[in-house]
Amino acid sequence: MQLSDFNYELPANLIAQHPLANRTDSRLLEVNADGKNDAQLIDRQFKDILSLIKPGDLLVFNDTKVIPARLHGKKETDGNVELLIERISGDMQAWVQIRASKVPKTGSIVHIHNQAGETFPVEMIGYDGRFYEVRFPENVFSLLERFGELPLPPYIEHQPDGEDAQRYQTVVAKNPGAVAAPTAGLHFDENILQQLKDFGVHQATVTLHVGAGTFTPVREEDLSKHKMHHEWFSIPEETLQAIEDTKKKGGRVVAVGTTSLRALESQALSRQSSGETNLFITPGFQFKAVDCLLTNFHLPKSTLLMLVSAFAGMGNIRAAYQHAIDQRYRFFSYGDAMFLCRLENTNP
């Protein structure tokens, strides 16, 4: 597969910059795919999810919570520097992306500050070719709460505000560690979750801490050379049991978002219920756990666009994205959603 196979032209004014008034106000594109890459596309509202999910199905959410992962500071030479947590690797350590005119050297100190005038030192201790490992003087989470800023995606152009603090979290978020929201979950509110329960739809959770690597562009034209970023995941035993019970009774496992899907498929491949995953899903991948997927629209040339193309067929996804552009759907984190079911034959 080539990177250029997953490109498309998106008008900039279709990139959603703010959430809609209510979580469930989004549009929903139902993609009824078949093995001939000739999907039937149906325009819906998100509340129509109640007619797409069946009694006995299992909705699997990612319950990760976005942390205030963006930090601002100065190098010892007084140059400005911005750190974005990629993933937390220990009580006092993390891997980060760094933005600076000249990246600090290993062993040097960066002084992080906040608007209250407080500061603390971060030591640069390593580099893996893409991310820098840093050491904090105390617990990472406690320092982020005092000094960190909500890390909105790079395509959202405003500074984070109170609206973002509430709406860039899902209503099921409880385990801190993500630096980007599992955005398919942003469409659900407590009311629609209760309606689904009353309808006989089961719900379960996984945790996958979305890393900043999710926004790292793929630079290799030959996708076999791309190195996928690592993300930590955990799947509770009760979720694994719920999946087994659902499949035995003929229900479908519906992943809410690509992060939930990656966690479930990682477990299905490795048989490990927790750890780090760098699973890179491209067309030809044989899915084992997930039957249907609720997902937002993804960036051109992104690993997530490759994942949904593997799930529903490249031709079907191309048609769905072109339809969404023509019908002026809203794209990316604060945008609209798609509902896909897995092809029996997921080859291109």
pLDDT digits (tens, 9 = 90+) for 311-330: 999 999 999 999 999 999 99
pLDDT beyond 90 at 150 = yes
Tell me what pLDDT residue 37 has.
Answer: 61
Rounded alpha-carbon distances, angstroms, from residue 282 to 85, 213, 225, 347 = 27, 17, 13, 9
State the average pLDDT over residues 244-254. 97
Q: Does 17 or 129 have the greater pLDDT score?
A: 17
Given a cut of 50, whether residue 209 has pLDDT beyond it is yes
Tokens representing 230 are 């690592």
Answer yes or no: is pLDDT of 1 > 90.
no
Q: For residue 347, is pLDDT > 50?
A: no
Q: What is the pLDDT of residue 345?
A: 46
Q: Which residue has the higher pLDDT, 217 or 166?
A: 166
User: Rounded to two decimals, what is the model's pTM?
Assistant: 0.94
Task: Give the angle 82-85-87 at the CA atoms, nearest 5°.
Answer: 160
Q: What is the pLDDT of residue 213?
A: 81
Distance, CA of 157 to CA of 198 (rounded, Å) = 39
pLDDT recorded at residue 129: 81
Per-residue model confidence (pLDDT) at position 346: 45
**Confidence band of 348 (pLDDT split at 50, 70, 90):** very low
First to last CA, the chain: 10
pLDDT confidence of residue 216 = 81
Q: Give the separation between CA 204 and CA 58, rounded to whole angstroms.
A: 7
Structure tokens, 119: 């500061």
pLDDT at residue 35 is higher than 70 = no
CA distance 279 to 286: 12
What pLDDT, on the 0 to 100 scale, is given for residue 301?
96
For residue range 170-208, what is the model confidence (pLDDT) as tens digits? 999 999 999 999 999 999 999 999 999 999 999 999 999
Look at residue 217 in the predicted model and tell me its pLDDT.
82
Mean per-residue pLDDT for 270-287?
Answer: 96
- Average pLDDT on 97-117 reads 92
**Residue-wise pLDDT tens digits, 45-72:** 999 999 999 999 999 999 999 999 999 9
* Count of C-beta atoms within a 10 Å radius of residue 78: 7
Tokens of 161: 């505000």
Averaged confidence pLDDT in the chain: 94
Picking from 325, 315, 297, the residue whose alpha carbon sits closest to that of residue 10 is 325
- Checking if the pLDDT of 153 tops 60, the result is yes
Q: With bands split at pLDDT 50, 70 and 90, how would you rate the model's confidence at 34?
A: low
Beta bridge mates, 12: none
CA distance 9 to 16: 16
Bridge partners, residue 44, by sequence: 28
Q: What is the three-class DSSP state of 188?
A: coil
The pLDDT value given to residue 252: 97
